[in-house]
Structure 1
Amino acid sequence: MKQAVFVILDEYADWESAYLSSMLNQSDEWQVQSASIKNMVSSIGGFHTSVDLTLNQISSDIDLLVLIGGNSWNVEDTKLKNLVDQRLDNNQPVGAICGAVDYLAKNGLLNKHKHTGNSLYLWNEFDNYTNGQNFIEKQVVRDQKLVTANGTAALEFTTEVLKMVQFNDDNSIEKQVALQELGFYKYSEKYGNPFA
């Protein structure tokens, strides 16, 4: 079984993980777990979440590491930085959205990849970020085994991460996400009733 681990910190953005985690978790081929710096975190939406793993318990050979944004990514944690750095060096799949991309920039972890984020100007004072020429003003960017997205791109992020890990063929992934993007009635007009 393939394993995806979602790193969530206090005041994590609930909506940024919802589509991706639920699509992965409904597959018989994937297991989804959460991880954090502490055992209990709260989301921006007020959900109190008991996490499955500490950062030390994340296996180096998991199939996907996802960093969910929020308001606490100014954290300084060597374990987390090393985990992401090793995965990027080993070309292992990593997805980061919103504040988590800010974290990557601040720690110099975007310097070898094309990427996006909330806004380039937010990173002007990050001494370790030296790759502004590869910042792309798009909702989501996939480069090698890294997907980055801004905080308004939960659906686009879901699509690109699913494609990166070859969850299904690209057309099937786009169609699956389109149900959420278009809504039931427009989706049904375009593709037919998915529940019929």
Structure 2
Amino acid sequence: MSLKKALFLILDQYADWEGVYLASALNQREDWSVHTVSLDPIVSSIGGFKTSVDYIIGLEPANFNLLVMIGGDSWSNDNKKLLHFVKTAFQKNIPIAAICGAVDFLAKNGLLNNHSHTGNFVYLWKDYKQYKPISSFVEKQAVRDKNLVTANGTAPIEFTNLILEMIDFDTPENIEKMMYMNRYGFYHFCDKYGNPFVEGHHHHHH
């Protein structure tokens, strides 16, 4: 079983809530490892969490199995290294997921054109000369097309769900159960699937 690497691309003022469901799911599995990549060695989240980054862009591992582009307030930048890094991942056909501001960056740089996609607001993209999509913007929380998942900023759970399917993380049933717990909470989960913490769902005798 070879270790698969997930790289989370987080710029300064990244939206810390957008990647947490996915990162914790991946990191709890022995066959996946989670790493962060950025332009700066230390970045702060919108929530004020300082993160010491694993890789500076340009020094990241040559091979990785998933690129997750987390949203935030720094995606309007024109950094050449950043664009080269992202374009290369597309060229290598690595599974890519982008949410919120990161989707704006893909739209602006013409990287959404060949995939069906969503994002925050399509009307913000009308001035992007390189945004010439072959299929129109989909008004959904998250969309998967081939090796790309896109989502708006209010969709961390739907985003996670589609990524886990894209990377064949588990059976569709198990992914659905995980996501059900995250969406509706413990008690609704128990009503639907039984209590996962009780052996064989027996009742305890007091």
Instruction: Tell me if TM exceeds 0.5.
Output: yes
- Within a 5 Å distance, the mapping from 1:147-186 to structure 2 comes to 147-186=149-188
8 Å contact kept, 1:73–1:100: yes
Q: Which runs of 5+ in 2 are unaligned?
A: 199-206
Residue 78, structure 1, aligned to residue 57, structure 2: no
Per the TM alignment, residue 155 of structure 1 is displaced from its structure 2 partner at its CA by: 0.2
CA distance in 2, matches of 1:137, 1:125: 19
Poorly superposed stretches of 4+, deviation over 4 Å? none
- Within a 5 Å distance, the mapping from 1:103-118 to structure 2 comes to 103-118=105-120
CA distance in 1, matches of 2:123, 2:62: 33
CA distance in 1, matches of 2:140, 2:192: 26
Report the residue type matching 1:32 in the other structure.
Answer: V
Per the TM alignment, residue 132 of structure 1 is displaced from its structure 2 partner at its CA by: 7.0
**Which has more radius of gyration?**
2
Q: Which runs of 5+ in 1 are unaligned?
A: none
Report the residue type matching 1:193 in the other structure.
Answer: N
SS at match of 1:56: coil
Q: Which moved more, 1:183-192 or 1:133-142?
A: 133-142
CA distance in 1, matches of 2:56, 2:197: 39
**Normalising to structure 1: TM-score of the pair?**
0.96
Residue 53, structure 1, aligned to residue 55, structure 2: yes
Give the one of 142, 145, 161 matched to 2:144.
142
Give the one of 29, 32, 37 matched to 2:31.
29
Report the residue type matching 1:119 in the other structure.
Answer: F
Per the TM alignment, residue 110 of structure 1 is displaced from its structure 2 partner at its CA by: 0.7
SS at match of 1:95: strand
Cα RMSD between the aligned structures? 1.1
* Percent identity (aligned): 52
8 Å contact kept, 1:69–1:97: yes
SS at match of 1:134: coil
* 2:95 matched residue in structure 1: 93
Q: Deviations over 1:49-98 (max 9, x none)?
A: 11111111222320000000011101112222122222223321000000
- Within a 5 Å distance, the mapping from 1:127-138 to structure 2 comes to 127-131=129-133, 133-138=135-140
Q: Which moved more, 1:28-37 or 1:79-88?
A: 79-88
